[in-house]
Structure 1
Amino acid sequence: MEFTNATSVRADFALPAAGLALQIEAHAPGVYRVRCAPPETLLAREEKPTARQKALAEMLLARDEPVGELATSSVVGGEGWRLEQGEIALEVASNPLRLALYRGDRCVLRTVGHDALQCAGSGNDTQWRLVTALGADESLHGLGETAGDPDRRGARLVSDNAADRVGSLLWSTRGWGVYFNTLGRIEYDLAAGSSDVCRYDVHDAVLDFFLFAGEPTEILNQFTALTGRAGQPGLWPMGVWLEQAPGTSVDEALGIVETFRANEWSVDTLQLAAPAPYGFLSDKPAFEWNPERCGDIREFQSRLQKANVQLAAPTLPAVLAGTPLFEEWEDRGWLLIRDEDGSACVFPGNDVTGGQPYGLLDLTNKDVYKLWVERQRQAVDEGLGAPVCSAQVDIPDDVTARGGECGAVLRRLYPLLTRRALFDAVAGHRTPQEGVIVSSDIFPAVQRSAWQEGPRCENTWAGMEHSLRTALALGDSGIPVQTHRLGSAQHPLDSMTPELYVRWLATCVFSANFSFQGVPGLLPTAFDSSVQELVRHWLQWRYRLIPYVLGIIEDAVRTGLPVQRSMALCFPADPVAQAWDTQYMLGPALLVAPMLEPGTKARVYLPEGSAWWDMNTGWRYEGGTLLEVEAGLDTLPIFGREGHMLCLGPGGLHTGDFNSARLLDEVWMFGMPEHSPVVMRNKIRVMQMQGSSYIKGLEGLKILPSEGLEVKRRGAEVRISRAR
């Protein structure tokens, strides 16, 4: 390897024997971008990219221009170079080529072996391999959804295999992260077979990846700043959802809403079951609501407004096979086509299409994309609050889009285009752009979407844990929200006991959001009056928490951090905390320890580095403490982190009850306030001066101080000091 050039942001190297060029860029503080390819390929991508290459690059990166500064020098001995950004440095050894990432004096990541970087093939058939070492005590996190061990070490994953549920970011508790910037296939061998190395096989003409150094929260911050962050969901999606049971009528679903209202159980959104209640007519490109499902759409919308509920409904960018519209669009080339004869690919029917085979719209075609956005916006204007769409189907390798994408690239690109089009329809014409798209798809840039639909889990204690674990894994991957389902209509109901039902509900309350299932055995009416009273208790807690939870999501726009945060993400230096992997932080202030088995006793570990306040007893504990606590069905082991505050609203039966001028009702303090609270549209600020905390923005709120604190109001300012 030969050094060729350096600027304030980039160092260039040549590998003449391999015919390759290597570029290393200080993309942001603590972030390096590494690109390797034949020199002419890199030059073409950099100076004369095609319109399609530009469009794909924008889908993957929100910030392509580097904002870091690089200091380049030779290492001792002259066999390599050191590229520094403050305390973060990347060393490049020349013979053989090796990379080593440092935080201060500590090497956190290094490539290994004489074949640490390999290249085979050429053009679009190029395959790269990168090999890195793993420490014995190192755990890996991210890369999408898993209901198993949150440590991904030992896994083998393929990015375009829908069953693997692969995300884009991988990070280590040791202090490094990696993101491969490509729509091509990536094969991850994360020290499988008890090895101590990770192998990454990347299928693309250019090897393009980012290395991150820092604490896991810093890595998520930089990753989401680089690849894009979620927009804000608005207020009504934060209320409780009700999913219509398959095979039931809209009248029955609205009857359940009325029952909720009569029993003072809060609910905000009705999500219709498959098949899709609206879609293209069989012979023309116009949307129509199915009158057999919804009757007259204006009357249906009037009934929803009267019930104070929003509407979510399933959809798919598809045209039913065998219809005149399918044949017309097949002739136009508006559907995904097979390479062999140019005919439209026919996919087997699914729940959304009512079991009927269909063709997928070619959303890489800008005219098709625009048409679908316009039709979805029409549905929004007619009363649709949120589309429900999972489009991560298995697209065969011999199917090609108009833009030329096929194989792994098309499988990863299609759900990305689908959700982006739906967001354009729902929120693209609004200021600010607020809205949610309900989907379970995982794809590059999925973290730009504020809403991820949770799995359908068995109605067992293990099922509840399954839903929790997937939420924490997605949070580790930079995805801000996973919603939960309180049980599943698709699984047997006989194992859903009253105790499990209440514990599951309580855990859902302390999450981003959740939905009831509209089948008799999973509704509150299936249980006795004592359980129904507990449902009322927990739903009021949910609505009181909305200002805090929405504030966490709004904070994700600035920080990239999720609502439910794993112990590994928040406490990477505390290996004991990481072993308690079903505990989680709900935002920055609350530690939640869900009850995942029958009984009222629970063991809780309070991580080191902070003191913790028991929200049920008011007692204070030092970090690093293992507790056994008692929790009846009306409580949950929840601890406030010292120095933080919890702002609660007054509750209500739906978000329409919220008074924007009186959003907050009371404030709970956990010790002396040191941090400004997270709360919806936050205007509360904490300042320290002479041993006291001065807080602006708490006018008229009930303040619950911690023991040993004194509260004094001075006009618009609140002073918190130690009691004398």
Structure 2
Amino acid sequence: MSPTIELADQVFETGPVVMTPSCVEWALHADEWRLRVEAHAPGVFRLRCGPRDWLEPGKPSLRAQRQADMLLARQEPVGEMACQSLDAGRWLLAQGDASLEIGGGDAGLRLFRGGQCVARAHLPVQPAGDGAEGTWTIDWALEPGEGLYGLGETSDSLDRRGALLVSDVPRDRCLPLAWSPRGWGAYLNTFDRVEHDLRTGGAYAARARGMGLDLFLFVGDPSEILNQYTALTGRAGQPNLWPMGVWLDQAPGQSAEFSLQQVRSLRAQGMGLDALVLAEPAVLGFQEDKPVFEWSGRVSDWRSLSAAAAELDLHLAGSCIPGVLHGTPLFEEWADRGWLLCDAEGDPWVCPGTPASAGRPFGLLDLTHRDTARLWTERHLQAVEDGLGAPVCQAQFDLPDGVEARGGETGAVLRSAYPHLARRALFDAVAGPRTPQEGVMLSRDLFPGVQRFAWQQGPSVSNDWDGYAATLRAALSVGNSGVAVQTHRLGDAGRPAGTMTPELYLRWLAMGVFSANFSFQGLPALMPDAFDADTRALVAHWLQWRYRLLPYVAGIIDDAVRTGLPVQRSMAQAYPADPEAHAWDTQYLLGPALLVAPVMQPGGVTEVYLPRGDAWWDLNTGWRYEGGTRWTVRPGLDTLPVFGREGHMLCLGPAAQHTGEINSARILDEVWMFGMPEHNPVVMRNKIRVMQMQGSSYIKGLEGLRILPSEGLEVKRRGAEVRISRAR
């Protein structure tokens, strides 16, 4: 092993060996190594360090190119920077108000925003020796009280200080982006193992394993960081409208006819519903002796089920497994063909049984093999044509280090890349034939690049107030990590339902209505029919709100396609300059216009903090409040503390029982204004726009809609144009 080297003075005193508007490069270790810094995008620096043949491999192998494409949607730098020599072997690389200072006696780097240092790190380098991989440690010094956000899913504090997370350990629920409200972020670009150690309050140590170091540094507000990170690593496409309607998760052991009757019962009570998720085991899989899918025997007649669902305007989803059952002729055939992952001896690795396989062991398809992945995609494409609305697949297996793919992937790389390959294949089946790509597939898997695929499932949680808080924090934490959409389960059919009171049920439901989406649980004790008539009436009330919100929610998701911002936005992400707001980690912005403060405790009394920098309009009373204030509120079970952000508008649609009742050409029914409009409204497919004039606004495309002005505004119509001005 070569001795450890550091980024010290002597490395930089001789100056760069390469200097272009987008790239600066220094020679290290007798010019056997190089340190390269690129202006990858405005406010984004890419720092790579390693042997020259790692940085400049010539034509990359197909395996290396495939992994690079899975990690980055944009490979080439698109920014420019100025390079300036400072004293003591330090160099300053500047892009506008974002700059990176590198070198100096402390062997490190410093990130600046507008001339102010926002982050400092120490960069010791342990290079590879004799072909072995090294460990690269970036030690970030955190300021007192500085929070660090992102890094995947958690049901605890959104500030990840105190945690130790390992990227390829499934139970850690880790994602690679970390950021601070001070204005910086970091992303280690690798499928190999990365450890994020925040157990020391004043430091964050990121340790990456690999031949070279590939580190992206971001400078800007958290929203700007999420925008640049998702532009770099990829974003999901716009889904159809129906997935934004209400879902029902079938409980284990229930028949399809029983679930259809539950749907009919909800509809008869005026409750909306759009999708049914069939319970595990997998609803379809390979025949024992042929590479052809067959529908599960527990669905006696899939065609009849699909037809019955179509009559109800109901979409069906069901689970699948990326494998073939052990002990079948097809298992033996594909083992001989090399289409299954193998163990260290070259024999097919047998995965222990899972709920999706009904407990039967199976061999995992080697999805690094193009023919295998293509076949799996084609079979699901046929299932979609037969009426499957969305596949459900959990493919994040804790693969032993000895398991290897045909392309050579093994260990941490295979554990991180395999769920990405499975999700890509399924998304191609659902959305591939459509232009533009529309569709969803459901999964709990987390991996680098997960934000490219819609739709992320929420966790299984307990049927109590703690479980309610856990699912909310999980959605906010993955939103902090670059995932735009995570759904919620209203309870868990696999746990005792006795702790689910009517009050908790309605509070949980109200939060789910004002979120990306949620699902009822088919267990009778967790369905609306388990409660009294007054509670059921309130359930119907909240479901009407859900369908009226669809234009706005669809607009937020459409906005996420362009910006990478999540549907539910934490206070730290939305208001980084207001430290007091960060402590309110169960409040969130729903898109840009609405502040939602769910009631998180029994008793009906809660506190709300309205962040500084904006004024807020109470949707329930119409009163206006200044930001930077705290209020105690006592909402009834038919209300939720929701506040409109001044200068924004809320676009609502008609009440409906499913999205099939909504006319996509006239999806808007009503517009609520919070003060003088200053921002374009968030609405599906941007059907309306705002033009600013002196002292007033013109809104086009609102003919025939009800306009609800906030206090002190006048509204005048002229054809399809509405003029809003201050009352005189």
TM category, shorter: over 0.9
- In the alignment, residue 319 of structure 1 is paired with which amino acid? V
In 2, Cα distance between equivalents of 1:462 and 1:299 = 41
Instruction: Name which of 666, 672, 685 aligns with 1:662.
Output: 666
Instruction: Name which of 52, 56, 63 aligns with 2:63.
Output: 52
Equivalent residue number for residue 277 of structure 1 = 283
1:314 aligns with 2:319: yes
Alignment size in residue pairs: 715
Contact 1:265 1:536 in 2 (8 A): yes
Instruction: Name which of 157, 160, 175 aligns with 1:152.
Output: 160
SS of the residue corresponding to residue 102 of structure 1 reads: strand
SS of the residue corresponding to residue 453 of structure 1 reads: coil
Distance 1:71 1:426, change over 3 A: same
Equivalent residue number for residue 85 of structure 1 = 95
Instruction: Name which of 178, 197, 202 aligns with 2:186.
Output: 178
Give deviations 1:655-679, integer Å, cap 9, x for gaps.
Answer: 0000112101000000111001101
1:67 aligns with 2:78: yes
SS of the residue corresponding to residue 313 of structure 1 reads: strand
Equivalent residue number for residue 299 of structure 1 = 304
Distance 1:23 1:537, change over 3 A: same
Identity among equivalent pairs (%): 61
Q: CA deviation at 1:369?
A: 0.4
Which structure 2 residues correspond to residues 590-601 of structure 1 after superposition, within 5 A?
590-601=594-605
In 1, Cα distance between equivalents of 2:684 and 2:720 = 20
Instruction: Name which of 132, 140, 143 aligns with 2:148.
Output: 140
- In the alignment, residue 266 of structure 1 is paired with which amino acid? G
Give deviations 1:560-595, integer Å, cap 9, x for gaps.
Answer: 000000000000010111111100000000000001
- In the alignment, residue 37 of structure 2 is paired with which amino acid? I
Give deviations 1:199-220, integer Å, cap 9, x for gaps.
Answer: 1111111200100000000000
In 2, Cα distance between equivalents of 1:295 and 1:261 = 25
In 2, Cα distance between equivalents of 1:530 and 1:438 = 33
Which structure 2 residues correspond to residues 488-499 of structure 1 after superposition, within 5 A?
488-499=492-503
Distance 1:164 1:258, change over 3 A: same
Equivalent residue number for residue 173 of structure 2 = 165
CA RMSD of aligned residues (A): 1.2
Equivalent residue number for residue 261 of structure 2 = 255
Segment of structure 1 superposing worse, 2-11 or 311-320: 2-11
Contact 1:178 1:211 in 2 (8 A): yes
Instruction: Name which of 190, 195, 215 aligns with 1:209.
Output: 215
Equivalent residue number for residue 193 of structure 1 = 200
Contact 1:119 1:129 in 2 (8 A): no
Equivalent residue number for residue 686 of structure 2 = 682
Q: CA deviation at 1:698?
A: 1.3
Q: CA deviation at 1:715?
A: 2.2
In 2, Cα distance between equivalents of 1:200 and 1:316 = 34
Contact 2:88 2:104 in 1 (8 A): no
In 2, Cα distance between equivalents of 1:649 and 1:519 = 31
Equivalent residue number for residue 580 of structure 2 = 576
Contact 1:81 1:91 in 2 (8 A): yes
SS of the residue corresponding to residue 303 of structure 1 reads: helix
The runs of 5 or more residues in structure 1 that have no matched partner are none
Equivalent residue number for residue 434 of structure 2 = 430
Instruction: Name which of 7, 17, 20 aligns with 2:33.
Output: 20
- In the alignment, residue 101 of structure 2 is paired with which amino acid? E
Contact 1:126 1:203 in 2 (8 A): yes
Give deviations 1:137-188, integer Å, cap 9, x for gaps.
Answer: 2100001100001001121110000000001210001110001111100011
Equivalent residue number for residue 334 of structure 2 = 329
In 2, Cα distance between equivalents of 1:603 and 1:174 = 26
1:128 aligns with 2:141: no
Q: CA deviation at 1:193?
A: 3.5
SS of the residue corresponding to residue 357 of structure 2 reads: coil
In 2, Cα distance between equivalents of 1:447 and 1:122 = 37
1:534 aligns with 2:538: yes
Contact 2:442 2:454 in 1 (8 A): no
1:37 aligns with 2:50: yes
SS of the residue corresponding to residue 279 of structure 2 reads: coil
SS of the residue corresponding to residue 418 of structure 1 reads: helix
Equivalent residue number for residue 3 of structure 2 = none
Q: CA deviation at 1:689?
A: 1.2
Which structure 2 residues correspond to residues 213-232 of structure 1 after superposition, within 5 A?
213-232=219-238
Give deviations 1:84-123, integer Å, cap 9, x for gaps.
Answer: 11111111115553211111221111123xx644445454
In 1, Cα distance between equivalents of 2:245 and 2:106 = 57
Which structure 2 residues correspond to residues 287-686 of structure 1 after superposition, within 5 A?
287-290=293-296, 292-340=297-345, 342-686=346-690
Contact 1:60 1:227 in 2 (8 A): yes
In 2, Cα distance between equivalents of 1:268 and 1:561 = 25
Contact 1:121 1:127 in 2 (8 A): no
In 1, Cα distance between equivalents of 2:604 and 2:551 = 29
Contact 2:320 2:392 in 1 (8 A): yes
In 2, Cα distance between equivalents of 1:208 and 1:273 = 41
Q: CA deviation at 1:18?
A: 8.5
Give deviations 1:319-369, integer Å, cap 9, x for gaps.
Answer: 1101110111111111000122x1100111010000101110000000000
In 2, Cα distance between equivalents of 1:7 and 1:346 = 52
Give deviations 1:423-460, integer Å, cap 9, x for gaps.
Answer: 00111111111000100000010011121000111110
Q: CA deviation at 1:297?
A: 2.2
Contact 1:118 1:130 in 2 (8 A): no
Contact 1:122 1:205 in 2 (8 A): no
Give deviations 1:668-694, integer Å, cap 9, x for gaps.
Answer: 000111001101111211122111111
Contact 1:672 1:720 in 2 (8 A): yes
Distance 1:18 1:174, change over 3 A: farther
- In the alignment, residue 373 of structure 1 is paired with which amino acid? T
Structure 1 segments (4+ residues) deviating >6 Å: none
Q: CA deviation at 1:298?
A: 1.8
Distance 1:611 1:346, change over 3 A: same
Q: CA deviation at 1:600?
A: 2.0
Q: CA deviation at 1:17?
A: 5.3
Equivalent residue number for residue 268 of structure 1 = 274
The runs of 5 or more residues in structure 2 that have no matched partner are 1-10
- In the alignment, residue 60 of structure 1 is paired with which amino acid? L
Contact 1:97 1:117 in 2 (8 A): no
Please give the TM-score of this superposition, normalised by the length of structure 1.
0.97
1:97 aligns with 2:107: yes
Equivalent residue number for residue 4 of structure 2 = none
Segment of structure 1 superposing worse, 96-105 or 281-290: 96-105
In 1, Cα distance between equivalents of 2:518 and 2:555 = 17
Contact 1:278 1:288 in 2 (8 A): yes
SS of the residue corresponding to residue 686 of structure 2 reads: coil
